[in-house]
Structure 1
Amino acid sequence: MADDLTLGDVLALHRAGRLDEAERGYRALQALRPSDPDLSHLLGFLLYQRGNGATGLAMIERALMMAPGVPLYHANRGEVLLAMGRLLEAEPAFRRALELNPDFLPARTTLSKMLIEAGRPDEALEVSIPPRGDDGVGGKLLVNRGIALSALGRKLEAHAVLSRALALDPTLAAAHGNFGNVLRDLGDWTAALGHYRRALELEPDLFIVHSNIMFTRLLDPAATGPDLLAEGRAWEARNGTPPPTARPASDPGRRLRVGYVSPDFREHAVSYFAEPLLAAHDRARVEVFCYANVARPDSTTARLRGLADVWRDVSTLDDEAFAGRVRGDGIDILVDLAGHTAGNRLRAMAERPAPVQVSLALAYGGTTGLSWVDYILTDSVLTPPGFESHFSETVVRLAGGFGAFRPRDDWPGVSAPPDGPPLLGCFTDPARIDASQVDLWCRVLNRVPDARILFKHPAYDVPDMTEYWRRRLGAVAGRAIFEGVPGGWGANMDVYGRVCVMLDSWPASGTSSSLIMLWMGVPVVTLAGRHANQRLTAAILAAIGLDDLAATDGDGYVALLCGLLGDRGRLAALRADMRRRLKGSPLLDATAHARAVEEAYGAMWADACRRKGD
């Protein structure tokens, strides 16, 4: 056979995907030329492609021993190591390839993507810029550059780079998806949705893009609960409903294995709610498993890990492996804490790894729209009677509220009321601020001529972004102060002593952000809307007896704010009394919240056992 074969013939078979024939060809040629590094390298990469990574790696490393100066060998060694999860070894392999050939663009593309996923966008940006300029650079490398710029807060530069990527290759789904992310972060949710939908046309199986559509629709002030449900159901309409494969439920009275899955077991808004729940669970009733989809663990991750009976790092598992791990653990009830926010594992839950699957999306609030999520835990303010038609899940309302919150021990005490003209605060992501809300603020500022608004957020750490948002905020900007958050929020807690009233975002309401403001003594004013995500702060205010700070229409919102700004006595009383209110409310009663959650889980499990017998 080898007498009739050339390396070109075998490469053609390899490139055509005829791997059985290609492997036989490489081995036949290698028998004749055992010291040929190209043959060792190509056979090794083929073996990796066929699922035999360890043997393939050994063959590539053999090629490198014979020819250590070939960039492609180093890059493909990096590819195999990356696929095997050996990231610390993969990175130097790619860097060596680029030392040997700085113009080796595939190595730049893979390494920059790897660095982005490792949370090192500054290094990813550096790698994504070839030393000799962008001649010949493909769309994928530009996409990585755009992602890195966006992660560094340089959204306008990211916009320009991703526009170039789309000009080079308008069929690149990743370019459309990431351009959509940048457009959303710049407040242009309408254009963002257009690019997300185009990405799904090009690659219908991109669940992350579907989640981005769901999250972005929350920024649409005209969206209703039924609109969001229809959007959520669109995924299964396009891709089909997965068959139920969960094991049958049994023994309704026994201790339950409950699995919590989240990308946010770290310093994140969700951890303020997850920590007290995990700590307060009655271990006689539930055994707690945590499935951490955390790319970059931190000290909060370590603390939460200590609260789980069993901790699983699932950040490197694909959907099938994740589902297999949950099944292997015998989880009875699997609880998603993310909704359609970044890093969710909702797609993996389509495998039905647990008999009962639940949404407790503490920072999301709305429906998943997915048939494989059975229940959603909420409360009567977040989801009033009549809102059931907004959900694909069965709605379960917890009597004490949707969650319990734990303030950080190192937060300072409440400061005295600020002196001087009234300063309102808006500490939300400016992309969550709709033009209609800005119009309401203009009305307030016109009626209270000495008032100003402090806009504070990491988005304003980048000077050109501050100017961008100053222009976007129009007339309000002339009465505004813009500040970044140098050193993080922990180094800026004194800012709560400067503002007298906080402005909740709309149409996407705040959760932990509102609770932090309240804990620091600052009353929050919100506009309660037409679906759950527009009512998160309203639910918090109801739990502490301050329902009157939640307006139900624009005129009421303006009147409420103006009245509050004109009543310094009430503002001082609210500030002085706010922590007492919170401490006496269900929001800080983790034990009662955990018992309510456990009762809900018990009822869900009993129902699943009954349905098994039907």
Structure 2
Amino acid sequence: MPLPPPSSRTVAVLTQAQALMQRGQAAAAMKLCEQAVEGENGDPLLLLEMINLYLHLGRHDDAYQAGLKVLEIDPEEPSAHFNMGLAGMRTNRYEAALGHFQTVLKHDPQNVRALTNLGGVYFGLGFIKESLAQYREALRLDESVPGIWQNYISILNYDEEAPLSFVMDQHRVVGEKLQAMAGPRPAAYANDPSPNRRLRIGYLSGDFIMHPASHYVEPVLRLHDKNVIDLYAYSLITWSDPVTESFRSCVPNWRDVGMLGDDQLFDLIQADKIDILIDLSGHTARNRILTVARKPAPVMVNWIGYLNTLGIPGIDYSLLDPHLLSPAADAGFVDRPWALPETAYCYTPLVTYRRPAPSPVFRKGHITFGCFNNPAKLSQAAFAAWAEILHSLPDSHLIFKYKTFDSPMVQNRVLRAMAAHGIGPDRLSFQGYSPLGPFLDGFADIDIALDTFPYTGVTTTMHTLWVGTPMVTLTGDTPMQRFGRSALLSIGRPDWIAASPKDYVAIALRLAEEVKADPGLRQKVQRRMHSSSMMRHEIFVRNLETAYRAMWQAWCTRQGAA
């Protein structure tokens, strides 16, 4: 049945709650609504408002539960379904989220926001073709929404059939569209163009929480030399966790900007007179690409969040390393690649130390492979290689672990793909979500990690090596296809890097023999990781600061030439 009209009490509470939200007092608005719901015995309109507030505060499970209460009254209520779809994605209820967005589209087939989020659900479940189809349909209906373009090109990186030239060209095309949407850039900057003065460095991110990007941000925020740098952070999230608070303690000038509009954020960065702004989100979630594209600082840098060109003319540099970019991909970059020495990603685990577990082959009697990567990175080419490996070792097993591998849709996709190559379900197993600590402990169940390709693992690769698990990777062209290569070169194991799927299979089989012959291999891998450039935090941050200084001096030189 349709929702009843609001009572006068509900109207008054909603008005007051919205006023509190406008003043940035989301927690107070939430408390007001919770108290009113108790008094009104679960008024559905208050519950709808609470769903929005819960999402804003990062209380995603509470948002989903509030939505269920609304659907008890009106099972088709579109606002509840839409927000439950959002909450579902954030609480690993991807198949449920699929149904919620499909319900919205059943009533409104041209709902662009629902189409866009449905694309996000398909991506979360690893269905890349279906995901891209939703974004293309959304763009057919409305080309004016920046986030749709961003999602489209971001997910295009996962399409194993998309040629490199097409992927890079699409980034350039979309970057130009976003630049046009953003509005004019400053004609000049008030920043003092002295090449050796103290610099104001700003980091802009929607991920200052427990998030993969935080493994690389933490050493930088903690170790920046405050004697030569004035450090600023612009946090786009509207909630916090212990990681957020840890970061906040490291940054003298912390700005919570999640409630600011694009123009307001631009004005704040300009008012802070930031010299170099590092965008850590790129085209990923919770970004502010329109602010970034307007170039609020003289020097703009893309780093960590997006391992490809942003395609936007106003971005000066992408921070990479000597191993992350092929000449073919380099030619397609709009932002100039800037190679840091040795590595572009310095890792910290954000959990307590894990001693390498013994290789399970010594207790199981057979090799166990593992893929702990996002199902969106699973490709038909990888399935074929993995099947050949399993056929070559008839008693071997393959474990898939990630937050969505407990989804029947994801499992069935893998089972069908492997069955097409003659591998039965008895050779495969699936594990779903685990918090980071137990996730890392899960590597004790596998002997060898099989990296995905063409899109390789990134933070998962770091985790893999940190706990001492040997792995095989296949190199490609873009940074997204070469992260495993960079990591294995950093630990001194280039022999685990494949140049072709055939080579990948051969390396995996040789590695199986190495695991069986060397019970101490995992300890060696971990020692190599701990002593590698990827974990020499102090050296990395000094190199990063040297790069920033060189970027700044280049800008100052251009001002002098003008």
Aligned equivalents of 1:117 and 1:140: distance in 2? 15
What pairs with 1:291-306 in structure 2 (closer than 5 Å)?
291-306=234-249
Aligned match for 1:482, one of 419, 430, 433: 430
Structure 2 residue aligned with 1:228: 167
What pairs with 1:104-123 in structure 2 (closer than 5 Å)?
105=45, 107-123=46-62
1:590 aligns with 2:537: yes
Structure 2 residue aligned with 1:59: none
1:140 aligns with 2:83: no
| Structure 2 SS opposite 1:260 | strand
Aligned equivalents of 2:119 and 2:345: distance in 1? 31
Which amino acid in the other structure matches residue 481 of structure 1?
S
Structure 2 residue aligned with 1:517: 464
Higher relative contact order (CA 8 A, sep 6+): 2
What pairs with 1:157-556 in structure 2 (closer than 5 Å)?
157-238=96-177, 241=180, 242-245=183-186, 247=189, 249=191, 250-361=193-304, 363-408=305-350, 410-418=352-360, 419=362, 420-461=365-406, 464=408, 467-469=411-413, 471-475=415-419, 476=423, 477-486=425-434, 488-556=435-503
Which amino acid in the other structure matches residue 480 of structure 1?
L
Deviation at 1:473, TM superposition (A): 4.5
Aligned equivalents of 1:608 and 1:337: distance in 2? 21
Deviation at 1:376, TM superposition (A): 0.8
| Structure 1 SS opposite 2:250 | coil
Deviation at 1:469, TM superposition (A): 4.9
Q: 1:495 to 1:135 in 2, by over 3 A?
A: closer
Aligned equivalents of 1:289 and 1:200: distance in 2? 36
The share of aligned pairs that are identical, in percent, is 28
Aligned equivalents of 1:395 and 1:150: distance in 2? 33
Deviation at 1:311, TM superposition (A): 1.6
Aligned equivalents of 1:104 and 1:413: distance in 2? 51
Which piece of structure 1 moves more, 410-419 or 133-142?
133-142
- Whether the 8 Å CA contact 2:190–2:273 is kept in 1: the answer is no
Aligned equivalents of 2:268 and 2:149: distance in 1? 25
| Structure 1 SS opposite 2:553 | helix
Q: 1:145 to 1:382 in 2, by over 3 A?
A: same
Aligned equivalents of 2:165 and 2:301: distance in 1? 20
Deviation at 1:449, TM superposition (A): 0.4
Q: 1:413 to 1:236 in 2, by over 3 A?
A: closer
Aligned match for 2:546, one of 599, 604, 609: 599
| Structure 2 SS opposite 1:140 | helix
Q: 1:434 to 1:466 in 2, by over 3 A?
A: closer
Q: 1:91 to 1:583 in 2, by over 3 A?
A: closer
Deviation at 1:161, TM superposition (A): 2.1
Structure 2 residue aligned with 1:89: 28
Deviation at 1:461, TM superposition (A): 4.7
- Whether the 8 Å CA contact 1:367–1:391 is kept in 2: the answer is yes
- Whether the 8 Å CA contact 1:140–1:175 is kept in 2: the answer is no
Which piece of structure 1 moves more, 603-612 or 90-99?
90-99
Consecutive unaligned residues of structure 1, counting only runs of 5 or more, are: 1-66
- Whether the 8 Å CA contact 2:473–2:485 is kept in 1: the answer is yes
1:565 aligns with 2:512: yes
Could you state the TM-score of these two structures normalised by the residue count of structure 1? 0.82
Aligned equivalents of 2:119 and 2:52: distance in 1? 18
Which amino acid in the other structure matches residue 389 of structure 1?
A
Which amino acid in the other structure matches residue 459 of structure 2?
S
| Structure 1 SS opposite 2:404 | helix
Aligned equivalents of 1:157 and 1:461: distance in 2? 13
Q: Indicate the structure (1 or 2) with the bigger Cα radius of gyration.
A: 1
- Whether the 8 Å CA contact 1:365–1:536 is kept in 2: the answer is no
Aligned equivalents of 2:190 and 2:494: distance in 1? 43
Deviation at 1:611, TM superposition (A): 1.8
What pairs with 1:16-35 in structure 2 (closer than 5 Å)?
none
Deviation at 1:590, TM superposition (A): 1.8
- Whether the 8 Å CA contact 1:226–1:389 is kept in 2: the answer is no
Consecutive unaligned residues of structure 2, counting only runs of 5 or more, are: 1-5
Aligned equivalents of 1:115 and 1:459: distance in 2? 23
Deviation at 1:417, TM superposition (A): 2.6
Q: Once superposed, which parts of structure 1, at least 4 consecutive aligned residues long, lie more than 6 Å away?
A: none
Structure 2 residue aligned with 1:63: none
1:254-293 CA distance string (max 9 Å, x none): 1111111122222222122112222332333322212222
1:57-92 CA distance string (max 9 Å, x none): xxxxxxxxxx98442232233233223322123235
Aligned equivalents of 1:567 and 1:229: distance in 2? 39
| Structure 2 SS opposite 1:417 | coil
Q: 1:91 to 1:409 in 2, by over 3 A?
A: closer
Aligned equivalents of 1:492 and 1:271: distance in 2? 17
1:233-274 CA distance string (max 9 Å, x none): 333544553322151551111111111112222222212211
Deviation at 1:378, TM superposition (A): 0.4
1:535-556 CA distance string (max 9 Å, x none): 1111111111111211111111
Deviation at 1:443, TM superposition (A): 0.8
Aligned equivalents of 1:117 and 1:198: distance in 2? 28
Deviation at 1:465, TM superposition (A): 5.3
Which amino acid in the other structure matches residue 117 of structure 1?
H
Aligned equivalents of 1:279 and 1:269: distance in 2? 17
Deviation at 1:387, TM superposition (A): 3.2
What RMSD in Å do the two structures reach over aligned CA positions? 2.6
| Structure 1 SS opposite 2:462 | helix
Aligned equivalents of 2:297 and 2:277: distance in 1? 6
Deviation at 1:521, TM superposition (A): 1.1
1:354-404 CA distance string (max 9 Å, x none): 11100112x532111112211111012101345321211011111221122
Structure 2 residue aligned with 1:15: none
Deviation at 1:514, TM superposition (A): 0.9
Deviation at 1:444, TM superposition (A): 0.7
Which piece of structure 1 moves more, 136-145 or 552-561?
136-145
Aligned equivalents of 1:233 and 1:280: distance in 2? 35
- Whether the 8 Å CA contact 1:510–1:537 is kept in 2: the answer is yes
- Whether the 8 Å CA contact 1:139–1:172 is kept in 2: the answer is no
